[in-house]
Structure 1
Amino acid sequence: MREVSFIKQNKEKWLSFEQAIFNNDFKDPDELASQYIHLINDLAYAQTYYPKSKVILYLNQLAAKAFQKIYKTKRENTNRFVEFWKTEVPLICYQYRKFIYIAFIIFVTFTFIGVISAANDGEFVRSILGDNYVNMSLENIEAGDPVAVYKSGSNWGSFIGITINNLRVGIIAFILGVFGGVGTLYIMFKNCIMLGSFQYFFYEKGVFWESVRGIWIHGSMEIFAIVIECAAGLILGASILFPGTHSRYTSFKHGAKIGVKILISTFPFTFFAGFLEGFVTRYSNIMPHFLSVGIILITLGIISYYYLIYPFKVQKEVTSLPLLKPSFA
């Protein structure tokens, strides 16, 4: 069968199934399972006979959405809390991976702007970080401890205060996505400019390595999580600007639901980053180099794997499941 005929023959069925999944119209789990199997058969057919077709991407995404619906409908003795992070969030991240990639591209771009601005304007860092903070950092550098600011306050006080602040930033970055994503971009711009100029400041003063060892012990997870939260805000904004075949209100509700799930998924990483900043970063200047570097690489590796690699693994498992009919109680 020619690809055009294949699409024409099944288009209405796919669109109907998509609408049912999107609007949560399925009442019979067995009906959903049956439709899911048909969909995967179509996907397998397309992969075999039209390997370069864009319809494969569409069917793959639709299958993932259907799997999430099936997963939610199952009455199994599983831990819903664990399965949320184990299956549901990775599938969402796979479906919306382009937004995550875009968020990282924007993050790198804005941070680079901060570095270039600080390098070409001697007063730029002060205008961004403030005179008090810069003067305090200069005093710490002269005292031989560039990141001494992380030693102030108690362990628990720092942990709680920092964690609450980071959660606040992430939540605001997501909520401001309601303005078509512009508010989220503003939060990214402000924080990335600060990060870029901040790091260049230490580079200019010849203590870049010392700052990296201190800042990124907690910063790997903290900043990565904020980027993911901004991606959730961009998804929210896109749901309003580009509703597709759905009403703008329906699209917004779906985008908000997806965005909230991604936002919530970052909270454990934010808590752990706050713990590191409150209890570990303060000892960065006395711990062995291999230990500080090891913590940075391990924390960065864990969160990178979860959001950038693990979703592909879960998606691959999902597309291999349809050959076995899902069992419902």
Structure 2
Amino acid sequence: MALSLFSKTEIEPPADIEAASLRSDRFRLEREVDWQRLEAIVTALEKNRPKRISDDDLLELPVLYRKTASSLAVARETSLDAATLHYLEALVRRAWFQIYGPRIGLTGWLRYFLGGGWSASVRAIWLDICIAFAVMVAGTAVGWLLVERDESWFFSLVPGGMSGGRVPGADPEVLRETLSTTDDANGLGVFAAYLFSNNTGVCIMAFALGFAFGIPTLLLLVYNMALLGAMLWVFADAGLGWEFGGWLSVHGTTEIGAILLSGAAGMHVGRTMAFPGKRSILSAMRHAGVCAAQVMAGCTIMLIVAGLLEGYARQLVGDMGSRYMIGGGMLAFWVLYFAFVPKPQEHET
């Protein structure tokens, strides 16, 4: 008798398990048609085939989504079988993305970014840009005045590999030769890539150091511009200040602009950390980080343009008037873009 009872217990499932199984099957059968219909619509949207969706199905999509989401809530409350629960969770997640998720791809993002998103982010950090600009001007003046007072400062500010014979007391003709053009564009692509890589490192460093409350960023900007100030004095002292300005302006208005924005973006993050206002530091950092990241993404574009100008236009265009026209034109373009291109209304957050 005991053996018989034991065997029956092993063969027949408990009544509560059997009831739960029947309840789960009934729950699925009553709603499965709507789930399958929603899944077919979502699958067509995921495959970018909206023409396969009928007008009735498209109109019913929000309703089907709400029904399925309600089914998921019931399934969780009544502890239905795990397979049904996983299926509904995946389906609701996919449907939510198709109904409420972002609709912007790479092309759309670029259109939004270049059509005003970047310029709006730059305008949002205007105070940091003003501070960075003042620091850069001061750094240039410091470099000039130090070398003017004692020429040995030049060798402390300018690395030997960068000077290339452009040192205090150099023959004016030697200095003029360093500003000359090349006969053709052979090898200039490699040169442009090198310049882009070098300038990118400076910008990344200026941005990254901003997380230390912006102080290291300020010091980096001062040093880089002091280097420029020292070089300016060398050419001005040799009577070639105008020529050096033209040579520098071709790429400098874009390159220095990128460094300015990178430093300002880093300072914006650091300043937000130091003065979060009424928000928590994490909340303020998150908001500042999004804005700064937009600015830095745009700086990459500026550095590519600067690398091309420095690697090609500066090496091939020798006329001084043309050099100033290129540099001035780029400066006017960036100023007008950042000052007057409004943020697109769509995708605003």
SS at structure 2 position matched to 1:266: helix
The structure-2 alpha-carbon separation of the partners of 1:131 and 1:161, relative to structure 1 and needing over 3 Å to count, comes to closer
Report the residue type matching 2:194 in the other structure.
Answer: G
Q: Is the aligned partner of 1:264 residue 2:264?
A: no
Contact 1:269–1:303 (8 Å) recurs in 2: no
| Partner residue, 1:34 | none
Where relative contact order (Cα < 8 A, 6+ residues apart) is larger, the structure is: 1
Contact 1:150–1:277 (8 Å) recurs in 2: no
Q: Is the aligned partner of 1:199 residue 2:218?
A: no
Q: Is the aligned partner of 1:306 residue 2:337?
A: yes
Q: CA deviation at 1:282?
A: 1.7
Q: Is the aligned partner of 1:101 residue 2:134?
A: no
Report the residue type matching 1:314 in the other structure.
Answer: P
C-alpha distance in 2 between matches for 1:140 and 1:164: 31
Contact 2:139–2:222 (8 Å) recurs in 1: yes
SS at structure 2 position matched to 1:223: helix
Contact 2:179–2:247 (8 Å) recurs in 1: no
C-alpha distance in 1 between matches for 2:278 and 2:238: 55
Q: Is the aligned partner of 1:274 residue 2:303?
A: no
- State TM-score, norm by structure 2: 0.63
| Partner residue, 1:80 | 109
Q: CA deviation at 1:100?
A: 1.4
C-alpha distance in 1 between matches for 2:150 and 2:162: 18
Q: CA deviation at 1:252?
A: 1.7
C-alpha distance in 2 between matches for 1:215 and 1:167: 18
Q: Within 5 Å, give how 1:168-247 maps onto structure 2.
A: 168-247=201-280
2:145 to 105, 110, 116: 116
| Partner residue, 2:178 | 147
C-alpha distance in 1 between matches for 2:292 and 2:223: 21
C-alpha distance in 2 between matches for 1:85 and 1:107: 27
Q: CA deviation at 1:144?
A: 6.2
Q: Is the aligned partner of 1:295 residue 2:326?
A: yes
Q: CA deviation at 1:205?
A: 1.4
Contact 1:146–1:211 (8 Å) recurs in 2: no
C-alpha distance in 2 between matches for 1:105 and 1:228: 13
Q: CA deviation at 1:135?
A: 6.3
SS at structure 2 position matched to 1:79: helix
SS at structure 1 position matched to 2:332: helix
- State TM-score, norm by structure 1: 0.67
Q: Deviations over 1:210-234 (max 9, x none)?
A: 2112122111100111001111011
Q: CA deviation at 1:141?
A: 3.9
The structure-2 alpha-carbon separation of the partners of 1:141 and 1:158, relative to structure 1 and needing over 3 Å to count, comes to farther
| Partner residue, 1:4 | none
* Number of equivalenced pairs: 244
Report the residue type matching 2:316 in the other structure.
Answer: Y
Report the residue type matching 1:126 in the other structure.
Answer: F
Q: Deviations over 1:88-144 (max 9, x none)?
A: 222222232111122111111111111111211121112211456546125684346
C-alpha distance in 2 between matches for 1:92 and 1:178: 18
| Partner residue, 2:40 | none
Contact 2:243–2:320 (8 Å) recurs in 1: no
Report the residue type matching 2:192 in the other structure.
Answer: F
Report the residue type matching 1:142 in the other structure.
Answer: E
Cα RMSD (Å) of the superposition? 2.9
Q: Is the aligned partner of 1:249 residue 2:282?
A: yes
Runs of 5+ unmatched residues, structure 2: 1-99
Runs of 5+ unmatched residues, structure 1: 1-71, 319-325
